[in-house]
Structure 1
Amino acid sequence: MITYFDYATLPVTPWKNGAGATREIIAVPSVDAPFLWRASIATLQADGPFSPFPGVDRTIVLLAGQPLRLRGEEIDHPLALWQPWAFPGEWELSSVGIVEPGLDFNVMTQRGRASAKVEVVSDRQRAATEGVAYVLQGEWDLAGRRCAAGSGLCWRGNAPGELRPLGADGRLLLATIALK
Structure 2
Amino acid sequence: MHHFDVESLPAGQWRNGGGTTREIASRPSGTDVFGWRASVADITRGGPFSAFPGVDRTLTLLTGDGVRLTCPGVFDRVLARAGEPFGFSGDLDLVAELPGGPCRVLNLMARRGSWTARVERVTDPVVPRPGHSGVFYVLRGTWQDESASPALRPGQGGWWDGDDAAPGGALVPLSPDAAALWADVAPVE
TM-score (norm 2): 0.90
* 3-state DSSP of counterpart to 2:7: helix
Unaligned runs of 5+ in 1: none
1:56 is matched with which residue? 55
Report the CA distance shift for 1:31/1:46 in structure 2 as closer, same or farther (over 3 A).
Answer: closer
Which residue, out of 153, 174, 178, partners 2:182?
A: 174
Q: How many residues align?
A: 179
Give matches, 1:52-91, under 5 Å.
52-74=51-73, 75-80=75-80, 81-91=82-92
Tell me, yes or no, if structure 1 residue 131 matches structure 2 residue 134: yes
Distance in 1 (CA, whole Å) between partners of 2:64 and 2:24 is: 20
Give matches, 1:1-80, under 5 Å.
2-29=1-28, 34-74=33-73, 75-80=75-80
2:107 is matched with which residue? 106
Alpha-carbon offset, residue 31 of structure 1: 10
Which residue, out of 142, 160, 177, partners 2:145?
A: 142
2:120 is matched with which residue? 119
CA contact (8 A) 2:66 2:100 kept: no
* 3-state DSSP of counterpart to 1:107: strand
Report the CA distance shift for 1:13/1:107 in structure 2 as closer, same or farther (over 3 A).
Answer: same
**Aligned sequence identity (%):** 40
Which residue, out of 156, 161, 186, partners 1:151?
A: 156
Which residue, out of 162, 168, 172, partners 2:170?
A: 162
Alpha-carbon offset, residue 11 of structure 1: 0.9
* 3-state DSSP of counterpart to 2:159: strand
Distance in 1 (CA, whole Å) between partners of 2:135 and 2:31 is: 23
* 3-state DSSP of counterpart to 1:8: helix
Distance in 1 (CA, whole Å) between partners of 2:32 and 2:112 is: 11
* 3-state DSSP of counterpart to 2:182: strand
Unaligned runs of 5+ in 2: none
1:19-73 per-residue CA deviation (whole Å, 9 max, x = no partner) reads: 1000000000289971000000000101111100000000000000002210111
1:115-152 per-residue CA deviation (whole Å, 9 max, x = no partner) reads: 10100100011112310001100000023331111100
* 3-state DSSP of counterpart to 2:118: strand
CA contact (8 A) 2:67 2:103 kept: no
**Greater displacement, 75-84 / 55-64:** 75-84
* 3-state DSSP of counterpart to 1:16: coil
